């Protein structure tokens, strides 16, 4: 038999280009049961259909109270309130309390109307129908707000995420049954050579065990494929051709090992060329080890003839085959297991306890990483779902100072620092945009002010902000000036969104505007202090107080529920929908989601701050391209309460 030389040795890049020209790696999608989803890759972004939890619930056993009734309580001067009822987990009754009253409550039970804190039973004594309280409770203490874990309409699991127990917990939390995932590409593997013996069989003189098949099959599985070893084929053209014809009809990718060089007994490239057009597209690559590699395409299936030497086979697999399998399986590249970082804020820890602190990793402007503690709490399933890793804090450490170096152990090998980091105020509009953006993004919701601080430190690529200046009524620009960011950051015009009062369908209380909040028959639910929505409310109340010639504090005291806070727009809507409040201030989007009526108060500017040194970062440029795109603007118009403006995507603070 005539030997054949390598006549067309090509570069690695040329080999990849030829492969991509003749084979388009397009992932396929299937829907599987939740119990089968572990380790699979999400093919479509999954939106939460309900709030988790769906109502405000107690996170401790104790007593639901009005927090202000407990403010000055201590061991010597306990506060005393009247016990009116007890609420168990699963209780369907709609109970309410007034000042001076309390209700016993079990962990997981719904918070009664009028209550805004839970006092742990350990800090109380019950004497008949009276409860003595020995420790003050802050508003919101020991309460898990509706939607504080997962908000209805929020992106729960993004496309491209490898499903771990954290994601299955999130999906189970809102009752997901069928999960869209990328199909695992089926990879068929054979070894060629008269000298090969399968492991487990007796080894005779002149024979060797087949090493490559096991290693290649495991590598294919590790990279997201469904691998199957189809046996050892002898150095005989008809046998090899018959086996490959069988495999090409059954598998998405076919791999042979051995038989690729120019020797008389090396048959792979000859046989592959007979399987169909275009046949062999590469035979010989300028790489060491692995020069005699064969790449072919037939019947729209890629075929790889890997060299027989194990080291060569695995190098070629990593360079050419693994990326293809991962692309078909929807899997991103792997990351390091440990990352050195600095604490983004002061971290307190309980002395005497060895703590595993869950953190998010954010890349700083100087190439280092900052670790942000995940603050959603141990009661929220998203605490695990959002974390990149954990910091181990020894028993003797009570505090880690801001800026201190820490070592972060990653929770998964597949986690890597995101291409784009967005820190600031959350908005559903960001989710809409990211669903159109072909990069991996990390979103950390710390509020508008926290986002601008992260821009100042160089930790955020982008910060979402909607802060209104009390004096001028201008959004965001004055705050960049006050924080001395005007010369070091750009402010990019985002989009408009409607803030207003969320009320029951049909408006049974005939609420018309902010002045109705003062009515004694109206119960209100407020946003948490520091949020942009709370700032807007206080600004409007300040104007009303000035109009009436009274102090702001005096006016706020007249609002029934001003001190009862919710941590999300969704929690506001849930409180109104479930009758815990008559009205709350939130964005129009959640009113639509809950089937509630909406009274517009103000159209606000939701903008993006970008550090000047990051404006040319590829992921930031892609973000801004999508922000300016007609497709995104169309999606905004389809989202209730959001709309693009004439200046969307423009820099509005050029210097």
CATH number at residue 91: 2.170.190.11
Residue 366: predicted pLDDT: 64
| Shared domain check, 245 and 110 | no
| Shared domain check, 158 and 84 | no
Residue 624: predicted pLDDT: 96
Average pLDDT over residues 356-360: 78
Contacts for 36 with CB less than 8 Å, ≥ 6 apart: none
Contacts for 63 with CB less than 8 Å, ≥ 6 apart: 81, 83, 102, 103, 104, 105, 118, 119, 121, 124, 131, 133
| Shared domain check, 611 and 500 | yes
Question: Where does the pLDDT of residue 462 fall: very low under 50, low under 70, confident under 90, or very high at 90 and above?
Answer: very high
233-238 — which CB contacts under 8 Å span 24+ positions? 233/190, 233/191, 233/192, 234/192, 234/193, 234/194, 235/192, 235/193, 235/194, 235/259, 235/265, 235/267, 236/267, 237/267, 237/270, 237/271
Structural domain boundaries, residue 355: 338-417
Residue 568: predicted pLDDT: 81
pLDDT at 266 over 60: no
Residue 258: predicted pLDDT: 80
Residue 503: predicted pLDDT: 97
| Shared domain check, 117 and 197 | no
The CA distance from 230 to 356, in Å, is 45
| Shared domain check, 164 and 125 | no
Nearest to 576 by CA among 40, 122, 51: 51
- Digit-coded pLDDT (tens) for 145-178: 988 888 898 888 999 888 899 899 889 988 888 9
Count other Cβ atoms within 10 Å, centred on residue 89: 12
Q: Range with the lowest mean pLDDT among 310-319, 445-454, 470-479?
A: 310-319
Are the beta carbons of 258 and 212 closer than 8 angstroms? Answer: yes
Average pLDDT over residues 221-235: 89
User: Per the domain annotation, does 213 fall within a domain?
Assistant: yes
Return the structure tokens found at 532.
Answer: 């942009």
User: Per the domain annotation, does 580 fall within a domain?
Assistant: yes
Beta strands 420-424 and 489-503 are unpaired
pLDDT at 414 over 90: no
The CATH number given to whatever domain includes residue 167 is 3.90.105.10
Count of the separate structural domains present in the chain: 5
Residue 344: predicted pLDDT: 76
User: Per the domain annotation, does 441 fall within a domain?
Assistant: no
- Digit-coded pLDDT (tens) for 560-589: 999 998 878 888 998 999 899 999 999 999
Return the structure tokens found at 325.
Answer: 């399998």
Q: What is the largest CA-CA distance in the chain?
A: 105
- Of 381, 402, 417, which residue constitutes the final position of a domain? 417
Q: How far is CA 553 from CA 65, 550, 563, in A?
A: 22, 9, 12
User: Per the domain annotation, does 491 fall within a domain?
Assistant: yes
User: Per the domain annotation, does 322 fall within a domain?
Assistant: yes
Give the sign of the dihedral formed by CA 304, CA 307, CA 309, CA 315: negative
User: Per the domain annotation, does 314 fall within a domain?
Assistant: yes
| Shared domain check, 313 and 177 | no
Average pLDDT over residues 214-219: 90
The CATH number given to whatever domain includes residue 347 is 2.40.340.10
pLDDT at 4 over 60: no
| Shared domain check, 512 and 399 | no
| Shared domain check, 634 and 593 | yes
| Shared domain check, 170 and 86 | no
- Of 297, 329, 361, which residue constitutes the final position of a domain? 329
What crossing angle do the helices spanning 618-628 and 630-638 adopt, rounded to 10°? 60
Nearest to 62 by CA among 128, 9, 135, 2: 135
Residue 382: predicted pLDDT: 54
Residue 245: predicted pLDDT: 92
Residue 395: predicted pLDDT: 66
**Mean of pLDDT over the chain:** 87
Count other Cβ atoms within 10 Å, centred on residue 354: 12
| Shared domain check, 472 and 324 | no
DSSP string, 186-207: EEEEEEE-TTEE-TTSPPPTT-
DSSP string, 241-299: HHHHHHHHTT-SEEEEES--SSSTT--HHHHHTTSSSEEEEEE-BS-SS-TT-EEEEET
Average pLDDT over residues 273-286: 89
Which residue has better confidence, 77 or 207? 77
Question: 45: which DSSP letter?
Answer: P
Are the beta carbons of 326 and 414 closer than 8 angstroms? Answer: no
- Of 300, 329, 358, which residue constitutes the final position of a domain? 329
Return the structure tokens found at 287.
Answer: 């790489």
User: Per the domain annotation, does 5 fall within a domain?
Assistant: no
Q: How far is CA 66 from CA 63, 69, 121, in A?
A: 10, 6, 15
| Shared domain check, 574 and 624 | yes
The CATH number given to whatever domain includes residue 212 is 3.40.980.10
Average pLDDT over residues 515-520: 94
Return the structure tokens found at 648.
Answer: 């969307």
User: Per the domain annotation, does 594 fall within a domain?
Assistant: yes
| Shared domain check, 491 and 584 | yes
């Amino acid at each position: 038999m005539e030997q054949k030389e390598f006549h067309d040795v090509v570069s690695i890049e040329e080999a990849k280009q030829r492969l991509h020209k003749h084979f388009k790696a397009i992932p396929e999608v299937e829907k599987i049961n939740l119990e089968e989803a572990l380790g699979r890759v999400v093919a479509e972004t999954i939106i939460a259909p309900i709030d988790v939890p769906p109502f405000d619930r107690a996170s401790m056993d104790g007593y639901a109270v009005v927090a202000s009734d407990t403010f000055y309580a201590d061991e010597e001067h306990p506060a005393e309130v009247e016990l009116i009822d007890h609420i168990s987990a699963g209780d369907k009754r709609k109970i309410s309390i007034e000042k001076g009253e309390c209700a016993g409550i079990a962990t997981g039970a719904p918070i009664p109307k009028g209550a805004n804190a839970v006092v742990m039973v350990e800090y109380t004594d019950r004497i008949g129908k009276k409860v003595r309280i020995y420790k003050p409770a802050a508003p919101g203490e020991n309460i898990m707000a509706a939607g504080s874990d997962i908000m209805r309409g929020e992106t729960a699991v993004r496309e491209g995420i490898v499903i771990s127990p954290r994601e299955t917990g999130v999906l189970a939390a809102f009752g997901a049954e069928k999960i869209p995932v990328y199909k695992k590409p089926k990879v068929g593997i054979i070894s060629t050579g008269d000298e090969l013996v399968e492991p487990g069989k007796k080894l005779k003189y002149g024979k060797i065990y087949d090493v490559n098949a096991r290693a290649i099959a495991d590598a294919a599985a590790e990279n997201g494929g469904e691998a199957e070893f189809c046996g050892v084929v002898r150095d005989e053209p008809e046998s090899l051709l018959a086996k490959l014809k069988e495999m090409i009809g059954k598998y998405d990718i076919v791999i042979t090992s051995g038989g690729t060089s120019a020797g008389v007994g090396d048959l792979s490239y000859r046989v592959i060329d007979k399987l169909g057009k275009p046949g062999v597209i590469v035979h010989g690559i300028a790489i060491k080890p692995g020069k005699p590699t064969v790449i072919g395409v037939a019947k729209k299936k890629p075929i790889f003839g890997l060299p027989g030497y194990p080291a060569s086979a695995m190098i070629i697999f990593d360079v050419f085959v693994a990326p293809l399998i991962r692309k078909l399986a929807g899997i991103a590249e792997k990351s390091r297991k440990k990352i050195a970082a600095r604490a983004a804020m002061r971290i307190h820890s309980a002395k005497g306890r060895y703590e595993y602190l869950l953190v998010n990793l954010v890349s700083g402007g100087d190439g280092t990483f900052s670790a942000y503690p995940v603050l959603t709490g141990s009661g929220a399933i998203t605490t695990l779902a959002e974390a990149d890793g954990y910091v181990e804090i020894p028993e003797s450490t009570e505090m880690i100072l801001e800026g201190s170096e820490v070592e972060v152990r990653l929770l998964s090998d597949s986690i890597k620092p995101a291409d784009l980091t967005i820190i600031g105020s959350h908005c559903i509009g960001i989710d809409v945009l990211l669903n159109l953006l072909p990069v991996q993004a990390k979103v950390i919701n710390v509020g508008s002010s926290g986002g601008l601080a992260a821009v100042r430190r160089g930790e955020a690529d982008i910060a979402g902000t909607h802060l209104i200046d009390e004096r001028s009524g201008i959004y965001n620009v004055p705050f960049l000036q006050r924080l001395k960011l005007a010369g070091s950051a750009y402010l990019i015009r985002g989009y408009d969104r409607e803030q207003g009062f969320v009320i029951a369908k049909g408006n049974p209380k005939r609420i018309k505007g902010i002045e109705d909040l003062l009515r004694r028959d109206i119960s209100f639910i407020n946003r948490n202090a520091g949020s942009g929505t709370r700032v807007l409310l206080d600004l409007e109340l300040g104007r009303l107080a000035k109009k009436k010639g009274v102090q702001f504090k005096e006016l706020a005291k007249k609002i029934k529920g001003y001190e009862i806070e919710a941590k999300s727009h969704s929690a506001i809507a849930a409180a109104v929908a479930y009758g815990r409040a008559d009205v709350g201030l939130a964005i129009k989007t959640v009113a639509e989601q809950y089937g509630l009526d909406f009274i517009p108060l103000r159209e606000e500017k939701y903008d993006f701050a970008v550090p000047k040194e990051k404006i040319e970062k590829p992921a930031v440029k892609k973000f801004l391209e999508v922000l300016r795109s007609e497709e995104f603007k169309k999606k905004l118009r389809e989202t209730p309460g959001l709309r693009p403006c004439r200046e969307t995507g423009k820099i509005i603070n050029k210097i």
